[in-house]
């Protein structure tokens, strides 16, 4: 890696000693206390300089805090609705106005964050675990193992998501909650990550340092876990970050179709779906939940973009 060399050189003022001036042994005086360069510290240094990263990180932090502590942001109850306030304009203490049922839109937007963030985070964790495991095993061991796992991946990939989601959510007609939505998204979301992981593992597994690890007697599982995976992690992290955003959109789509979260759980998707009929008389009913959802998804996609650019040495040079 040319980059690694150039950054090490910064710490070493005299890289080689001229025979005439320097006494023998000057090479040993070179300062080696500087931290060794690697992909992750380089990426972090690069990331810190990107405004896009800070914008995305701030937005993500804000959404997570809102999701965890909605009471900090509003004292209103999102489920306290008075029909007398139906589609009323904003007033003091109710900056976004009221929806068709007379519920406070600001409070509903704040409380809706929790469902979206919970679905996004849980589904991403599950998808990374399952897809990562399948992809890593298929890519590393290869052979008929890979053939079987890849065909199973293909099967789940070929079935349209929305369609499968409708069937599965029908099964849970009586008890839909965040966990069932996460289950559906995971069941049909893992193949994408499995493919990415498989590709990344296959591109790493023939590297010289893997051969070295094997030659030193590392077992196959150790080689995979300690040497292959850390070096194949970059594309997985990028894909997972962007996927988190798309999973939030998926949850909203399910709620829009009426097969997502039940009405007891305040969610942006369900509020957007309900807003369709009041769109003509009061556009803000649609604007606020949709805007909050879009901003959340946008921040995760921007984060994925920033991390991808930081982790790609080719892009960094430009």
Partner 1 sequence: MAWYIGRRLLQMVPVFLGATLLIYAMVFALPGDPVLALGGDRGLNPAVAEQIRAEFNLDKPFIVQYLLYLQGILTFDFGTTFSGRSVRDVMAEAFPVTFQLAVMALVFEAVLGVAAGLVAGLRKGRLFDATVLLVSLVVIAVPTFVIGFVLQFALGVQWRLLPPTVGGDVSFRTLLMPALVLGAVSLAYVLRLTRTSVAENLSADFVRTATAKGLSRPRVVTVHVLRNSLIPVITFLGADLGTLMGGAIVTEGIFNINGVGGTLYRAIQQGQAPTVVSLTTVLVVVYIVANLFVDLLYAALDPRIRYA
Q: Measured from the CB atom, is 22 or 159 closer to partner 1?
A: 159
Q: Which of 59, 79, 290, 316 binds partner 1 (CB under 8 A)?
A: 290
Q: For the beta carbon of residue 235, count every other beta carbon within 10 angstroms.
A: 17
Q: Does 87 bind partner 1 (CB under 8 A)?
A: no
d(CA 238, CA 254) in angstroms, rounded, equals 25
Should residue 298 be labelled a site residue for partner 1 when binding is judged by CB under 8 A?
yes
At residue 194, φ and ψ (nearest 5 deg) are: -60, -40
Among residues 15 and 144, whose Cβ is nearest to partner 1? Answer: 144
Q: Which of 29, 65, 163, 225 binds partner 1 (CB under 8 A)?
A: 163
Instruction: Tell me which residues in 133-152 interact with partner 1 (CB under 8 A).
Output: 151-152
Residue 243 binds to partner 1 (criterion: CB under 8 A): no
- The nearer residue to partner 1, 8 or 177, going by C-beta atoms, is 177
Q: Are 218 and 227 in contact (CB under 8 A)?
A: yes
Per rule CB under 8 A, is residue 62 in the interface with partner 1?
no
Least Å distance between CB 279 and partner 1?
5
Closest separation in Å from C-beta 299 to partner 1: 9
Nearer to partner 1 (CB atom), residue 25 or residue 160: 160
Q: With binding defined as CB under 8 A, does residue 213 bind partner 1?
A: no
CB burial readout 148-160, b (16+ within 10 A) else e: ebbeebeebeeee
Q: Per rule CB under 8 A, is residue 49 in the interface with partner 1? A: no
Among the residue ranges 88-96, 106-114, 136-144, 155-163, the one whose residues contact partner 1 (CB under 8 A): 155-163
Candidate residues 162, 207, 212, 225; the one interacting with partner 1 per rule CB under 8 A: 162
Total residues in contact with partner 1, by rule CB under 8 A: 42
Measured CA to CA, the distance from residue 120 to residue 71 in angstroms comes to: 21
Q: Answer yes or no whether residue 256 interacts with partner 1 by CB under 8 A.
A: yes
Tokens of 278: 């009041």
Residues of the shown chain interacting with partner 1 in the complex, contacts defined by CB under 8 A: 151-152, 154-156, 158-164, 166-168, 170-171, 173-174, 245, 249, 252-253, 256-257, 269, 272-273, 275-276, 279-280, 283, 286, 290, 293-295, 297-298, 301-302
């Amino acid at each position: 890696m040319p980059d690694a060399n150039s950054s090490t050189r910064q710490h070493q003022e005299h890289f080689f000693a001229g025979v005439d001036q320097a006494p023998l042994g000057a090479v040993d005086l070179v300062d080696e206390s500087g931290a060794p360069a690697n992909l992750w510290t380089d990426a972090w240094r690069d990331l810190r300089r990107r405004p896009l990263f800070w914008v995305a990180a701030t937005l993500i932090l804000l959404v997570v805090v809102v999701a965890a502590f909605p009471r900090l942001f509003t004292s209103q109850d999102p489920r306290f609705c008075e029909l007398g306030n139906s589609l009323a304009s904003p007033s003091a203490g109710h900056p976004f106005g009221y929806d068709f049922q007379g519920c406070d839109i600001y409070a509903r937007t704040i409380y809706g964050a929790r469902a979206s963030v919970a679905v996004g985070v849980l589904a991403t964790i599950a998808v990374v675990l399952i897809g990562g495991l399948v992809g890593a095993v298929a890519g590393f061991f290869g052979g008929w193992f890979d053939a079987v796992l890849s065909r199973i991946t293909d099967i789940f990939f070929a079935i349209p998501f929305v369609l499968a989601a409708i069937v599965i959510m029908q099964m849970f007609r009586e008890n839909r909650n965040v966990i069932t939505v996460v289950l559906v998204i995971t069941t049909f979301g893992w193949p994408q990550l499995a493919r990415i992981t498989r590709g990344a593992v296959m591109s790493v597994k023939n590297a010289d340092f893997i051969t070295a690890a094997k030659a030193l007697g590392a077992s196959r599982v150790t080689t995979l876990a300690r040497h292959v995976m850390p070096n194949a992690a970059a594309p997985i992290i990028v894909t997972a970050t962007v996927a988190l955003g798309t999973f939030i959109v998926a949850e909203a789509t399910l709620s829009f179709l009426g097969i997502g979260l039940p009405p007891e759980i305040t969610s942006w998707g369900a509020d957007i779906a309900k807003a369709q009929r009041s769109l003509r008389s009061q556009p803000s009913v649609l604007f606020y939940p949709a805007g909050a959802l879009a901003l959340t998804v946008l921040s995760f996609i921007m984060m994925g973009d920033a991390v991808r650019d930081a982790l790609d040495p080719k892009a960094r040079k430009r």
